[in-house]
């Protein structure tokens, strides 16, 4: 079963090399956060490659409908984007970083397998939030 996540924040790392960030994805229905460390592009080109992908899909009569994190193996998140063309769906493997860029550019949902969410994420509890507010 998959869960829909929202992009909560992208936070630069203070302890590692430049270009490393932690992406925080949030499962609002179940109060789970999935933190993922990624390399983040510091150069932004206009139009972005993600906008180009969106326009290419549209030019071919398709629309990007979602991104999906379907496997976590050996510290790697495996993802694909789903494109609908007429009545056919295509799943195209992509890197996690590119999938996140496409999610942001196309304003599409991101799904993750529930098992991955529970293995790599954590439940946000009321006491956790209260403790964080007191310490800040």
Q: Give tens-digit pLDDT for 32-47.
A: 999 998 876 544 556 7
Query: How far is 55 from 49, CA to CA, in rounded Å?
Result: 10
pLDDT reported for residue 136: 65
Note down the domain range covering 89.
2-135
Is-contact 67 111, C-beta < 8 A? yes
pTM of the prediction?
0.80
What CATH number has the domain bearing residue 73? 3.10.690.10
pLDDT reported for residue 47: 76
- Adjacent-strand bridge partners of 32: 27, 123
pLDDT reported for residue 42: 47
Residues in the chain with pLDDT values less than 50: 42-43
Query: How far is 106 from 73, CA to CA, in rounded Å?
Result: 27
DSSP assignment of 34-63 equals: EEEEEE--S---SS-HHHHHHHHHHHTTEE
Helix and strand numbers, DSSP H then E, in the chain? 4, 8
* Domains of the chain: total: 1
């Amino acid at each position: 079963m998959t869960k829909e996540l929202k992009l909560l924040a992208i936070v630069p790392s203070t302890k590692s090399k430049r270009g490393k960030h932690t992406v925080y994805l949030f499962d609002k229905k179940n109060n789970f956060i999935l933190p993922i460390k990624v390399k983040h592009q510091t150069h932004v080109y206009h139009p972005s490659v993600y906008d180009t992908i969106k326009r290419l899909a549209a030019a071919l009569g398709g629309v990007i409908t979602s991104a999906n994190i379907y496997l976590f193996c050996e510290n790697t998140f495996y993802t694909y984007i789903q494109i609908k063309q007429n009545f056919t769906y295509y799943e195209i493997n992509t890197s996690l970083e590119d999938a996140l860029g496409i999610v942001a550019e196309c304003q599409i949902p991101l799904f993750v397998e529930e098992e991955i969410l529970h293995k790599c994420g954590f439940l946000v509890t009321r006491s956790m939030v209260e403790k964080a507010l007191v310490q800040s």
